[in-house]
Amino acid sequence: MFAIVPPYLLSRLAATDAPHLADAAEAARATLAIPRAYLPGHERGRARLDLSVDGDALVLQGEPAPDRVVSDVRHRETLPGVRVRGEDDPPVADAAVNQAFDGLGASFDLFWDAFARRSIDGAGGTLAASVHYGDRYDNAFWNGERMVFGDGDGEVFRGFTSSISVIGHELGHGVIEHGGGLAYQGQSGALNESVADVFGALTEQHLHGQSAAEASWLIGAGIFTDAVQGVALRSMKAPGTAYDDDVLGTDPQPAHMRDFVHTSEDNGGVHINSGIPNKAFHLVATALSGSAWERAGRIWYLTVTEGTLSPTADFSAFAAATTAVAQREYGERSEEADAVRTAWNAVGVTARDESPRPARPAGVHG
């Protein structure tokens, strides 16, 4: 569970008979066949310490610091692999190790700077990652205690450590789980994926100092090779537009409840229907402008970490919860609360959309 590349995307790649993608198809089939166990995580914490002298007194000041450990699986499937870089170690020759290390740090910085959260578990726990998982493994995932990165097949997918939004997304699943969790099925599962996308996007924006208006709002930008007609796995700004490829198909994400996809695949469409709450968050963030993690992100963060949200919450319940948090934190008639209400209305979760629907070809029923 909690993998960045949806199973339906890998299934399309696995089924292709294009001669030039034979190796990629084989890699996709192998990726789908590898089981992923979910494990509870628990680690210790570290702190950044500053020493100064005040008269005769030694003053100790500290704030949480990341405690990162990156291991190399060496193309096997047994975790965690061999430890190759820790918090106090210099960069190594392996780019994937350094990218994973830096990405873990970027996620830590977002959660501490924006939400005063000490690591993924809120208690300063170690951030662990394993790189070079499997043979041409076409995915990255959070297994409950660490990030795991494949190198991709090289024909369709590149290595996954290069994307900050991917790292922030997967670690975001850990934050959601420690906050009480959202059942990974149907609408609650789509919310789980969406909130992880929110954290992934915010990690990237925070790292680069981007405003909501400046950000790309893409999840997984750069993990496709140039052979793919697409820019990322998902677009929070415009769900359904991230890729349109002869082999991978068209991005299936809806941006409105009228296009909600009913399916038994992908745990009830968790990677597909997440486009609807994704669009809602984008609307809130851009309406409030400035840095998305400051107000919009804070509302979403509090909603999933305060322990009051039901693990089986659907879109409507989540809309009500975010609205309640915005009203409590900023005021019932505040700009923030109004932005949240307006966004959920705009995507059809809390109000019927009366705008005309696009005409469908004869014989097509929706």
In a domain, 355, yes or no: no
pTM over 0.85, yes/no: yes
Residue found by looking up tokens 């499997």 in the block: 134
Q: Are 108 and 48 in contact (CB under 8 A)?
A: no
Residues 6+ apart with CB under 8 A from 304: 175, 176, 179, 180, 182, 195
In a domain, 80, yes or no: yes
Residues 6+ apart with CB under 8 A from 328: none
In a domain, 354, yes or no: no
Would you tell me the crossing angle of helices 315-330 and 296-305 to the nearest 10 degrees? 120
Residue 111: DSSP 8-state:
H
In a domain, 89, yes or no: yes
Q: Is 63 a catalytic residue?
A: no
Based on DSSP, count helices (H) and strands (E) in the chain, helices before strands. 10, 11
Q: What is the mean pLDDT of residues 211-233?
A: 96
pLDDT level of residue 59 (50, 70, 90 thresholds): very low
| CATH for 278 | 1.10.390.10
Q: Is 42 a catalytic residue?
A: no
| Catalytic one of 132, 178, 256, 271 | 271
Q: Are 118 and 45 in contact (CB under 8 A)?
A: yes
351 pLDDT more than 90:
no
**In this predicted model, what pLDDT tens digit does every residue of 279-324 receive, in sequence order?**
999 999 999 999 999 999 999 999 999 999 999 999 999 999 999 9
Instruction: Check residue 34 and give its pLDDT.
Output: 83
Q: Structural domain tally of the chain?
A: 1
In a domain, 1, yes or no: no
Q: Residue 305, exposed/middle/buried by CB under 10 A (0-12, 13-18, 19+)?
A: middle
| Catalytic one of 132, 145, 169, 170 | 170
In a domain, 360, yes or no: no
Residue 31 phi/psi, 5-degree rounding, is: -60, -45
In a domain, 364, yes or no: no
Residue found by looking up tokens 């305060």 in the block: 306
* Residue range(s) defining the domain that contains residue 211: 7-346
In a domain, 357, yes or no: no
Of 94, 31, 26, 99, whose CA–CA distance to 68 is shortest?
99
70 pLDDT more than 60:
yes
Query: Rounded CA gap, 347 and 353, in Å?
Result: 8
Instruction: Check residue 20 and give its pLDDT.
Output: 86
Beta strands in 66-132 (DSSP E): 68-72, 82-86, 127-131
